[in-house]
Amino acid sequence: MTVTRPTPDFDTNIGSDPHPSLYNEDLAPLTQDKRRWGAFEFFNVWTNDVQSLAGYTLAASLFITAGINGWWVFAAIILAGVFVNFLVNLTGKPSVKYGIPYAVMARSSMGVRGAQFPALIRGIVAIFWYGAQTYFASTAVALALDAIFGNPELPLFLGMDAIDWISYVFVAALQVVLFLKGIAWIERFLNFAGPAVYVVMIALLVAIWVQAGDRLLPAVGSIFNNSSVEGWAAVGAFFGVIGTMIAYFSAVIINFGDFARFSRTEKAMKRGNFYGLPVSLTFFTFLSLFTTAGAFIVLQGGEGVPLTNPAEIVGLVGNVFLTIIAAVTFVIATIGINLVANFIPPAYDLSNLAPQRISFQTGGYLTAALGFIVGALWVATISQIGLPMFVDTLGAILAPLYGVLVADYYIVQRRAVHVADLYSMEKSGRYFYQKGWNVRALIAIGVAGVFSIAAVWVPALAGLSGFAWVIGALLGAALYTAVMWSYRPKPVAEPVEPVAVETGA
């Protein structure tokens, strides 16, 4: 016989008349039939993120500059992966539940109009990351071209020669072409890139290890055995590495809902996050540590400063074929995560500013144009502050937004959002606040942001630089909870829909 029983369903009800300034098809909740991502897709998002040239360079730089033993740096990076896994599960849960991107989810805490502010900040940070990652990807292309043409001496413009500029323009154009092919094609691209990079990284390590022989393990133990920092300062450096790695992932942490909304189930999302973060990050860090140490012994003769860019390491191998293969693979990995983490989110964010006039595709074009300028200035200006400080600064800007988002959903809204009101300009709407703006949330973000950014740039607070993201997130959450304590809306009823179930008589 057939019986009916209520079962929780995804709340995709936006009401009969969503306000046109808050709605377009790209910002609408995804229905269950459009959610195709399983654990493998989430695994590849994180795998491509950690495998990018910027990810490798940051990890290798921390081994060299942290001032503590390399094994402690290794442990700190792994712990950061565990913590990031926890953080993204928190922000992913509501978007799996409601099928909405971050730009819409932010309306719950910031107001239906006020959400444009954090979305714009997130978009600007992503554009900076997009430009930086585009530059890093172009270095691999330039490496291959230099190997083919014999490293010609060419004049420089903004720190790059003609081959560098040709490579940069090529990578920038290629990313736009891939974006135009759509999210389904990008998914397939990521699913190929993740495993492919690991194959090349393992091959590179094996090639170096064969040449290094029994010198490799002592090199790993000695080259990064830095005792310049001791006592409590070493403890601070350890946690500083954790904070910097969290800041590296901050751009994805805050807008993880843009990906989580495609998940079939919350369980699939969490499983993919676990294998893609703590597990994949551990393996990749192992490869980075041993490859950097081996390259220092074999390719540099143990002199100078260890190379932190894998493309440069490959270039010293002296094999043109290997250089080209490795360059193509690293470009694929970096482009993959750049599209997912730094291109698609600002496209959503810019679209959210004016849904009627800026489509998702138009937002993508704006991101590409602005990111191109950032990447073109990377060598001459932006890189001068150093990659760790660049990462910490962008993380400090985003951290309060994360704290407010989590505190709002789990504490203020009590894990329930009224989806229709996210698209409504009615004064009686749950998220209308003061003319569409939640001024209290803006104050909380502003105060927390001042402290987190100061932790990076004020010399007297230099010891807190690696903790900037954690400070900003915790302070943002605490201040938001405090100023919103008097605003305790009644819980929203969970959507329930009768479902027919066949049973035996």
State the pLDDT confidence band at 6, using cuts at 50, 70 and 90.
Answer: very low
Q: Is the pLDDT of residue 32 over 80?
A: yes
CA atoms within 13 A on the CB side of 451: 17
Q: Is the pLDDT of residue 175 over 60?
A: yes
Q: Is the pLDDT of residue 176 over 70?
A: yes
Calpha distance 175→336 (Å, rounded): 9
Residue range 5-20: mean pLDDT, rounded: 56
pLDDT of residue 159: 85
State the pLDDT confidence band at 500, using cuts at 50, 70 and 90.
Answer: very low
Q: Which of 101-105, 223-227, 256-260, 416-420 has the lowest mean pLDDT?
A: 223-227
At the second CATH level, the architecture of 21-395 is Orthogonal Bundle (1.10)
Mean pLDDT estimate for the chain: 80
pLDDT of residue 7: 35
306 vs 480, which has greater pLDDT?
Answer: 480
Q: Is the pLDDT of residue 223 over 70?
A: no
Q: pLDDT tens digits for 64-105?
A: 777 777 788 888 999 999 999 999 999 999 999 999 988 899
DSSP string, 125-166: HHHHHHHHHHHHHHHHHHHHHHHHHT------BTTB-HHHHH
Q: Is the pLDDT of residue 382 over 80?
A: no
Calpha distance 442→115 (Å, rounded): 10
Calpha distance 293→289 (Å, rounded): 6
% of the chain beyond a pLDDT of 70 = 86
pLDDT of residue 459: 82
pTM above 0.85? no
The DSSP H or E segment spanning 499 is strand 496-502
State the pLDDT confidence band at 443, using cuts at 50, 70 and 90.
Answer: very high
Q: What's the DSSP call for residue 302?
A: T
DSSP string, 229-296: S-HHHHHHHHHHHHHHHHHHTHHHHHTTHHHHTTBS-HHHHHHHHHIIIIIHHHHHHHHHHHHHHHHH
State the pLDDT confidence band at 318, using cuts at 50, 70 and 90.
Answer: low
pLDDT of residue 123: 80
Tokens representing 81 are 């992966």
pLDDT of residue 88: 94
Contacts of 115 (CB under 8 A, 6+ apart): 103, 104, 106, 107, 109, 352
Calpha distance 360→493 (Å, rounded): 31
Q: What's the DSSP call for residue 402?
A: H
